[in-house]
Amino acid sequence: MVNLEGKVCIVTGASGGIGKALVEKLAAQKATLVLAARRLEVLEEIKRTLPQKEKILCLKCDVTSKQDLENLVGYTLKEYKKIDCLINGAGVSSQYPFWEQPLEDIEKVMYTNYYSYVMLSRLVVNPMKEAGGGHIINITSGSVMVDPPPRNFIVYTSLKVALRSFAKGLFWEMRDFGIKVTSIFPGVTRTPLTGKLKNIAEDRLMEPDSIADSVLFALAQPANTCPLELSVINQQTPWTKPVIPFKQNHPQGAKK
């Protein structure tokens, strides 16, 4: 695997399904970790299960708040003087016919799943640039490969598509400074997030460890190699079903 001793990694969404699996793996590789989420008590509980607790800092952070994001980066720099890796993993899902989606829900998805990723990237790139390098890893979504965005998920998916585009641009803009950018595209994974969704094929869910392993793979690559995008998709992905229903039975006399 990869030795992360001495590497400072911020993980947002560390209290969630994918984030928790990830911090367990990063801690096992001896990383110095800053765990961020709103539920500080859950972060502290996770910390209790991890080795080398002295290398783990838990910070309460609402990623929809600019002030909290500035505090997260500011506090990490004050404590450790550098940030080697930012893993943007905080996220919410949202499943509504667009005409029924509450305005507040649209706002929440935009701020959590897009705004926070861009703002945190902006806050860490200069310290990374000064340090001669770094790695930004976004937990995006396999839904970016579904075009058009799936029904009832159009705000969620279109923001993930925007995030994919942002990350690709960020890579080209920052690569001469030694900064890597990786987008991870998970398929449907067993976490509290999918637990809230309707019509999920339980038997096809992947485990969060599979997604966490892809992050470890990205971190293990040599300095001159950046895995720009990694898709980890269910072997029997539900998306092989048509996402736009079409009429199988043509009306009598209709042209085929």
Query: Minimum distance between the CB of residue 254 and ligand NAP, rounded to whole angstroms?
Result: 38
Which of 9, 23, 64, 114 is in the footprint of ligand NAP by CB under 6 A? 64
Q: Which is closer to ligand NAP, CB of 91 or CB of 134? A: 91
Q: Which CB atom, from 95 or from 131, has the smaller least distance to ligand NAP?
A: 95
User: What's the closest the beta carbon of residue 234 comes to ligand NAP, in angstroms?
Assistant: 9
In angstroms, the CA 9 to CA 50 distance is 15
Q: Which helix (H) or strand (E) holds 183?
A: strand 179-186
CB of 225 to ligand NAP, least distance (A): 24
> Of the listed pieces 47-55, 56-64, 171-179, 233-241, which binds ligand NAP according to CB under 6 A?
56-64
Q: Closer to ligand NAP by CB, 15 or 214: give it.
A: 15
> Is 22:49 a contact under the CB 8 Å cutoff?
no
CB 87 to ligand NAP: min, Å = 10
Nearest to 146 by CA among 136, 156, 137, 138: 156
Distances (CA, A) of 17 to 14, 133, 184, 242: 8, 28, 15, 28
List residues bridging with 58 in a β-sheet. Answer: 35
Contact with ligand NAP (CB under 6 A): which of 4, 7, 10, 13? 13
Which residues 171-230 are close enough to bind ligand NAP by CB under 6 A? 186, 188-189, 191-194
Check binding of 139 to ligand NAP (CB under 6 A): yes
Q: What are the b/e assignments for 20-33, b being 16+ CB within 10 Å?
A: bbbbbbbbebbbbb
The DSSP annotation for 127-148 comes to: HHHHHT-EEEEEE--GGGGSSS
Q: Does 141 bind ligand NAP (CB under 6 A)?
A: yes
Site string for ligand NAP, 80-109 (x = CB under 6 A): ---------xxxx-----------------
Q: Which is nearer to ligand NAP, 109 or 125 (CB)?
A: 109
Among 42, 50, 145, 146, indicate the residue that binds ligand NAP (CB under 6 A). Answer: 42
| The two structure tokens encoding residue 103 | 């305005």
Q: What share of the chain is helix, strand, coil (3-state, %, to 5)?
A: 50, 15, 35
DSSP state letter for 95: -
User: Nearest Cα to 149, choosing from 243, 231, 236?
Assistant: 243
Is the Cα torsion angle 105, 108, 112, 115 positive or negative in sign? positive
Residue number, 43 or 128, with CB nearest to ligand NAP? 43
149 binds ligand NAP (CB under 6 A): no
Closest approach, Cβ 132 to ligand NAP, in A, equals: 29
Applying CB under 6 A, the residues found at the interface with ligand NAP are 12-19, 37-39, 42, 61-64, 89-92, 112-113, 139, 141-142, 186, 188-189, 191-194
